[in-house]
Amino acid sequence: MSTNTPSSSQPAVGTARVKRGMAEQLKGGVIMDVVNAEQAKIAEDAGAVAVMALERVPADIRKDGGVARMSDPNMIEEIIDAVSIPVMAKSRIGHFVEAQVLQALGVDYIDESEVLTPADEVNHSDKWAFTTPFVCGATNLGEALRRIAEGAAMIRSKGEAGTGNVVEAVRHLRQIKGEIAKLRGYDNNELYAAAKELRAPYELVAEVAELGKLPVVLFSAGGVATPADAALMRQLGAEGVFVGSGIFKSGDPAKRAAAIVKATTFYDDPKIIADASRNLGEAMVGINCDTLPETERYANRGW
């Protein structure tokens, strides 16, 4: 056979290609946080490529305090039944049993998320052990590569969820893109030390240096509240965006959701972004990240 791809007449599920390939299909799109079937339908109507099913959006998790956990299976199933687009759901960091439950429920992607209260302060879940693909957050390249080494099939820059403030999303995406650009300039001798410095496997570091990008899809998350925010993250190099509290904590969720979808596709066309930004009603109020105590910064969770 002339192809270099091993081919078999038997179907193989849960392979890295199938998991990473799923994220490739989401590119250029918006993934929206929803807390019930009604919101999920609004998201789908607006053109979301997927929804993230969770009990409380991050802004409410911040407000309510306490331990934030995986959502009720009934609620996740209602959302799966309500829409035809992919459904993602969150497990706590290191809580591989929550992840097992989410896989059993048939969600299409598991977000091992710092927005929930971590269950393990040392270990993340072994994501290779699952058929369902995982997306994980990262604030820098080393963190992204450690998650990929554990089996993550998609990365999102963390930002600071539930603030409506894009500043941390920008910081983390610039950090990741900047570190990738730096690796591009290294010669082979320097990649070993770079791997040590990044605290990431050499093989992945060498792969990123060669590709000039992560080996998996990179989205942005945490603080996107307006069409211009979404377009900003795209222009900075995100392949798509997660929008959490920004939509359903705003005055007119359906309109804002559709506007963010438009601006994500035409991220480099200011005229379209301007049109999408008109008369959207109240944006979510937002939090100034400078005044956020260290203990309330979700981005510090995970390592």
Partner 1 sequence: MSSSSTPVIGVLALQGDVREHLVALAEADALARPVRRPEELAEIDALVIPGGESTTMSKLALLFGVMEPLRARVAAGMPVYGTCAGMIMLADKILDGRDDQETVGGIDMVVRRNAFGRQNESFEQGVAFTGLEGGDVHGVFIRAPWVESVGAGVEILASLHEGTEAEHIVAVRQGNLLATSFHPELTGDHRVHAFFVEMVRAVSHGG
Q: Does 85 bind partner 1 (CB under 8 A)?
A: yes
Question: What whole-number distance in Å separates Cα of residue 114 and Cα of residue 190?
Answer: 32
Q: Nearest CA to 155 among 167, 141, 165?
A: 141
Q: Which of 39, 91, 113, 132 lies at the binding interface for partner 1 (CB under 8 A)?
A: 132
- Residue 267 has which token pair? 């991220």
237 is in an annotated binding site: no
Nearest distance, CB of residue 297 and partner 1, angstroms: 31
Contact 186, 180 (CB under 8 A): no
Which parts of 39-68 interact with partner 1 (CB under 8 A)?
44, 47-50
Q: Does 84 bind partner 1 (CB under 8 A)?
A: yes
Count the site residues for partner 1 by CB under 8 A. Answer: 45
Q: Does 73 bind partner 1 (CB under 8 A)?
A: no
Question: What whole-number distance in Å separates Cα of residue 186 and Cα of residue 198?
Answer: 14
Q: Does 270 bind partner 1 (CB under 8 A)?
A: no
Nearest distance, CB of residue 42 and partner 1, angstroms: 13
- Residue 3 has which token pair? 């192809």
Q: Which of 27, 63, 90, 255 is catalytic?
A: 90
Q: Does 188 bind partner 1 (CB under 8 A)?
A: no
Residue 36: Cβ within 10 Å count:
15
Q: Does 279 bind partner 1 (CB under 8 A)?
A: no
162 is in an annotated binding site: yes
To the query of whether residue 90 is one of the catalytic residues in this protein, the response is: yes
Q: Does 13 bind partner 1 (CB under 8 A)?
A: yes
The residue among 18 and 287 lying less far from partner 1, judged by its C-beta, is 18
Contact 91, 125 (CB under 8 A): yes
Beta strands in 67-132 (DSSP E): 87-92, 109-113
Strand partners, 243: 32
174 is in an annotated binding site: yes
Q: Which of 25, 123, 235, 300 lies at the binding interface for partner 1 (CB under 8 A)?
A: 25
Nearest distance, CB of residue 62 and partner 1, angstroms: 29
- Residue 6 has which token pair? 């091993």
Residue 299: Cβ within 10 Å count:
23
Nearest distance, CB of residue 51 and partner 1, angstroms: 11
* Residue 254: Cβ-neighbour burial (10 angstroms; 0-12, 13-18, 19+): middle
Contact 266, 273 (CB under 8 A): yes
Radius of gyration of the chain (CA): 19
245 is in an annotated binding site: yes
Q: Which of 266, 283, 292, 296 lies at the binding interface for partner 1 (CB under 8 A)?
A: 266
Q: Which of 233, 261, 273, 299 lies at the binding interface for partner 1 (CB under 8 A)?
A: 261
Question: What whole-number distance in Å separates Cα of residue 68 and Cα of residue 91?
Answer: 10
* Residue recorded with tokens 């390939």: 21
Which parts of 101-130 interact with partner 1 (CB under 8 A)?
103, 106-109
Question: What whole-number distance in Å separates Cα of residue 169 and Cα of residue 246?
Answer: 13
Active-site amino acid positions: 90
> Which spans of this chain sit near partner 1 (rule: CB under 8 A)?
1-15, 17-18, 21-22, 24-29, 44, 47-50, 84-86, 103, 106-109, 131-133, 261-262, 265-266
Binding-site annotation, residues for D-ribose 5-phosphate: 33, 162, 223, 244-245
